[in-house]
Structure 1
Amino acid sequence: MKHLPKHLRPRWRYLAVGIETWPNATLDRRSFQRALWYSAGNLLGDAGSADVDLTLLSFSHGTGTGEAVVRARREHVAEARAAVACVSEVDGDPVGIHVRGISGTVRACEERYMGRAGATSTQRDVAFGDAERPAVVRADACDVRTESGYVGATTFDTE
């Protein structure tokens, strides 16, 4: 089968997506892709989500942070950003998602916007709510373990 001429091939844009979760959340590639499709389908409808054609190209997630590269059609970047922003949970775990940037090639996307989620996290005890509590500390953010689950805090809240 012959390739399409260059002017007839679909044009793509690549979205660098930053992901934040609680430290005990476990996300995998398949569940994140399903959440993207579900979000696009709910926001744009079946025809709109087919036009945007969100595809997860790369995905990584560690203790509380992660990143992904999502492919979308060039003409539908605004709809793709909106659909990505509508993802609020993956497999019942709440997530915070933000688009770091958009690029025309995967390589440029990875070089410009990826690798920033590599911040190291440490496990230590912090003073929170008049008690010593275990926490996962990343840069200036702390996820403090309480009886009812994790609480997001800053370094000023834990002193």
Structure 2
Amino acid sequence: MKHLPKHLRPHWRYVAVGIETWPDADVSRRGFQRAVWYAAGNLLGDPGSADAGLKLLAFSHADGEGEAILRVRRGHVDDARAAIACVSEVGGDPVGIHVRGISGTVRACEERYMGRAGGDLTQRDVAFADADATAVVRGDAYDVRTGSGDVGATAFDTE
């Protein structure tokens, strides 16, 4: 069987996304792909979701931070961005997802937008809400552990 001529082949764009969760969240590749497909199906409908052709190519997640590359059919990037923005939880864990950038090749996407996750994590005791608590610190983000769960905070909130 012959390959299709170049002008008949599908053209793709590659979307790099950053993923942020609580430090103890367990977000898997399969769960993330399922959440993206579910969001695309709900927002765009089955025909629109099939046209966009969202597919997860690369995924990594550890210690509350992660990144992924999604393949999207050219011409449907705006639809894909909207669907990605609709993902609010993966496997029952709340997530924050932001698009880092869009590229025409996987290699350019990896070189420009990937490798920013996995910053330094430290754990320290902080004063939060007039009480002592333990916090996981990533840059300027503080995940404070309280009796009712984790609370997102900044350096100013913990003084």
TM-score interval for Structure 1 and Structure 2 normalised by the shorter chain: over 0.9
| Deviation for aligned residue 1:118 | 2.5
Tell whether 2:36 aligns with 1:36.
Answer: yes
Specify the SS of the correspondent of 1:75. Answer: coil
Query: Matches of 1:4 and 1:52 in 2, distance apart?
Result: 20
Instruction: Give the 5 Å matches for 1:55-94.
Output: 55-94=55-94
Contact 2:63 2:118 in 1 (8 A): no
Contact 2:18 2:99 in 1 (8 A): yes
| Deviation for aligned residue 1:75 | 1.0
Gaps of 5+ in 1: none
RMSD: 0.7
Q: Which residue of 2 aligns with 1:153?
A: 153
Q: Which residue of 2 aligns with 1:130?
A: 130
TM normalised by structure 2 equals: 0.98
Q: Which residue of 2 aligns with 1:5?
A: 5
| Deviation for aligned residue 1:85 | 0.6
Specify the SS of the correspondent of 1:157. Answer: helix
Q: Which residue of 2 aligns with 1:52?
A: 52
Q: Which residue of 2 aligns with 1:99?
A: 99
Query: Matches of 2:59 and 2:123 in 1, distance apart?
Result: 24
**How many residues align structurally?**
159
Q: Return structure 1 stretches of 4+ with deviation > 6 angstroms.
A: none
| Deviation for aligned residue 1:2 | 1.2
| Deviation for aligned residue 1:28 | 0.5
Tell whether 2:25 aligns with 1:25.
Answer: yes
Query: Matches of 2:25 and 2:89 in 1, distance apart?
Result: 11
Q: Which residue of 1 aligns with 2:141?
A: 141
| Deviation for aligned residue 1:142 | 0.2
Sequence identity, in percent? 77
Specify the SS of the correspondent of 2:82. Answer: helix
Query: Matches of 1:120 and 1:8 in 2, distance apart?
Result: 46
| Deviation for aligned residue 1:134 | 1.0
Gaps of 5+ in 2: none
| Deviation for aligned residue 1:122 | 1.1
TM normalised by structure 1 equals: 0.98
Specify the SS of the correspondent of 2:152. Answer: strand
Query: Matches of 1:107 and 1:118 in 2, distance apart?
Result: 20
Contact 2:62 2:118 in 1 (8 A): no
> One-letter code of the match for 2:36?
L
Instruction: Show CA shifts across 1:70-98 (max 9, x none).
Output: 00001100000000010000011110000
